[in-house]
Amino acid sequence: MPQRNQVVLVRHAETAWSKSGQHTSFTDIPLTENGRRAARELRPILAGWDFSLAVSSPLQRARETAELAGISEGLDLDPGLTEWNYGEYEGITTAEIRKTVPEWTVFSHPCPGGETGAEVATRVDGVLERAREARGPVVLFAHGHVGRVVVCRWLGFEPSAGRHFVLSTGTITVLGWERETPAILRMNTLS
């Protein structure tokens, strides 16, 4: 039977825009002081793992979370983990978008000038292929919406199923196996 890796998915810690609910894809902003503290609190949790591969979005908030959590040596930056491109919705909140598109979610409606769920899934599939080929547990540092697509693709779901999952800032989700079936072992937790 082939080796079955576990993937520890870490959503970056708090930024000013994640705190205010502004959609942040390509805008490269740092963690808040609270976010830096939360990222440091991940260090003892992640120290209990012997990761064979550590991958981060190249954006500052994900890299900074990884570094403060003690994962900097050998950290591979992969644009496949960059946040969903919100296009014209960059920097605005869901409430603002819903003034013109009342039932909008990133999973159900397009982002003008941004990415589709299928485009995000293609990026994520490449990252997960690397994770499955690794020779041990893998840690991924990513963002809220792309992280939810990571969960979906691990489970074999379409990106739109991401609407059913929550990934709070500075939390971990552990993806693994229930016998031969991809499964969520822990989700949106601090332990």
Q: List C-alpha distances in Å: 123 to 71, 126, 174.
A: 22, 5, 20
pLDDT in tens, 125-149: 999 999 999 999 999 999 999 999 9
Averaged over 43-66, what is the pLDDT? Answer: 98
Across the strands, what pairs with 175? Answer: 7, 184
* Residue 129 included in any domain: yes
Pairing of strands 7-11, 172-178: antiparallel
- Tokens representing 104 are 């909008």
CA distance 64 to 98: 32
CB 63 within 8 A of CB 56: yes
Question: How many domains, the chain?
Answer: 1
CATH (domain of 106)? 3.40.50.1240
Write down the catalytic residue from 14, 23, 64, 83: 83
Give the pLDDT of residue 1: 42
Q: How far apart are CA 99 and CA 41, in angstroms?
A: 38
In a domain, 46, yes or no: yes
CA neighbor of 92 nearest in space, from 143, 149, 20: 20
Catalytic residue among 12, 23, 143, 145: 12
Residue 2 lies in a domain: no
* Residue 83 falls in the annotated catalytic set: yes
Mean of the per-residue pLDDT values of the chain = 97
Residue 1 inside a domain? The answer is: no
- List, for residues 26-35, the tens digit of each pLDDT value: 999 999 999 9
* CB 25, CB 83: distance < 8 Å: yes
Domain range enclosing 158: 7-189
Measured distance between the N- and C-terminal CA atoms of the chain, rounded to whole angstroms: 29
